[in-house]
Amino acid sequence: MDKTNLSVVLHSKGDLRLEHRPIPEPGPNEVLLQMHSVGICGSDVHYWQNGRIGDFVVKKPMVLGHEASGRVVKVGSDVTHLKPGDRVAVEPGVPREMDEFFKSGRYNLSPTIFFCATPPDDGNLCRYYKHSANFCYKLPDNVTFEEGALIEPLSVGIHACRRAGVALGSTVLVCGAGPIGLVCLLAAKAMGASQVVITDLSSERLSMAKELGADFPLEVKREDTAEQLAKKVEGLLGDQPHVTIECTGVQSSVQTAIYATRPGGVVVLVGMGAEMTTVPLLNAAVREVDIRGVFRYCNTWPMAISMLASKKVNVAPLVTHRFPLEQAVQAFETTRQGLGVKVMLKCDENDQNP
């Protein structure tokens, strides 16, 4: 084990540094991990570029990264289900209090939750990282570290589709074909959706969506009105979709989502937009189209691992770029430019495989 712990630290807006930090010591219920693969998320880039997301402000240096997997190198005294050598995927949100949200199974809503790389909590873009053992999940041999790291974005897709009630034979509209739109597509298909329309402004992103199984990629022009787009979606599917999963956060796309959805259906809001949004709420209300938010996820890692192990979901094609940890800044720059889909940082000097 090294003596130093190379880490990707955001000091303040625009000030991203590679630094050596001490290797942490795990507490009784924690494990120390040697990090292997960590994906870069839009939020990491957003903190770098803006120093904040909404009310979360970077006030002191913070390690970035929350889409992660690694190998256990040390276990705390009370840990029984993991041992050194185990390969694990990391669930980045760990509730700190047994409040009503945690007790009722919705710990993602706990206001005091620890979450990697959400200020002031450090993330895991580093060589060594300690985490609550209860939120590290052992990977079977046939699931790679990168697949393990991709469970984090996939979990957003799973939670979105679960909240949407995607079921056998559902028809689904996904708005936006960024990384999050794509994992929603994958999750919807795995849950039995029969047909998925996916929209984007970019034809490249739509090609990727098509490769990943989208039935109808739909290129959006800036001049299309929300109601026109809704009609196009109905035309493609032969009927309005049961479910719409909004993954852009853009107001006009939220409007499309509402108009497009079938009476009695569901719009799930994954994309995060402006504080106030103007929407055809009356249209949704009189057709009993429910509007449900998604805040991260809960209770998804075990099922995601099952799906990956049984090869029912294929997330590997999402990784389009890889960089060694030392080149973190280039990696961040690549994501910032919107090149490819998912950029992976390889944190283990001796093993840069997927």
Ligand X SMILES: NC(=O)c1ccc[n+]([C@@H]2O[C@H](COP(=O)([O-])OP(=O)(O)OC[C@H]3O[C@@H](n4cnc5c(N)ncnc54)[C@H](O)[C@@H]3O)[C@@H](O)[C@H]2O)c1
Contacting positions for a second copy (CB under 8 A): 54, 97-98, 100-101, 103-109, 111, 134, 158, 161-163, 167-171, 187, 190-192, 194-195, 215, 254, 263-264, 269, 272-295, 298-299, 302-304, 306-307, 309-310, 312
CB of 280 to a second copy, least distance (A): 6
Q: Which of a second copy, ligand X, Zn ion, none binds 6 (CB below 5-8 Å, type-dependent)?
A: none
Contact pick of 9, 32, 35, 41 for Zn ion (by CB under 5 A) = 41
Site string for ligand X, 26-45 (x = CB under 6 A): ----------------x---
- Residues numbered 149 to 188 that lie near ligand X (CB under 6 A) are 156, 175-181
Which region, judged by CB under 6 A, interacts with ligand X, from 1-9, 98-106, 268-276, 305-313? 268-276
Nearest position to ligand X, beta carbon: 178
Cα 336–chain centre separation? 16
Q: Do 157 and 183 contact (CB within 8 A), yes or no?
A: yes
Q: Which of a second copy, Zn ion, ligand X, none binds 178 (CB below 5-8 Å, type-dependent)?
A: ligand X
203-238 b/e (C-beta count within 10 Å ≥ 16 → b): eebbebbeebbbbbbbebeeebebeebbebbbebbe
DSSP 202-245: -HHHHHHHHHTT-SEEEEPPTT--HHHHHHHHHHHHSS--SEEE
Count CB neighbours of 133 within 10 A. 21
Q: Which is nearer to a second copy, 191 or 347 (CB)?
A: 191
Count CB neighbours of 334 within 10 A. 18
Q: Which is nearer to a second copy, 12 or 299 (CB)?
A: 299
Angle at 205 between CA 200 and CA 210, to 5 degrees: 95
Between the alpha carbon of residue 338 and those of residues 64, 177, 251, the distances in Å are 18, 12, 21
What are the start-end ranges of the E strands in 139-192? Answer: 171-175
CB of 96 to ligand X, least distance (A): 19
Which region, judged by CB under 6 A, interacts with ligand X, from 28-36, 67-75, 166-174, 294-302? 294-302
CB of 340 to ligand X, least distance (A): 10
Phi and psi, residue 291, nearest 5°: -115, 115
- CA–CA distance, 344 with 65 (Å, rounded to integer): 10
Q: Do 228 and 220 contact (CB within 8 A), yes or no?
A: no
Which region, judged by CB under 6 A, interacts with ligand X, from 64-72, 116-124, 249-257, 304-312? 249-257
Rule CB under 6 A: which residues touch ligand X? 42, 156, 175-181, 199-202, 205, 220, 247-250, 252-253, 270-272, 294-296
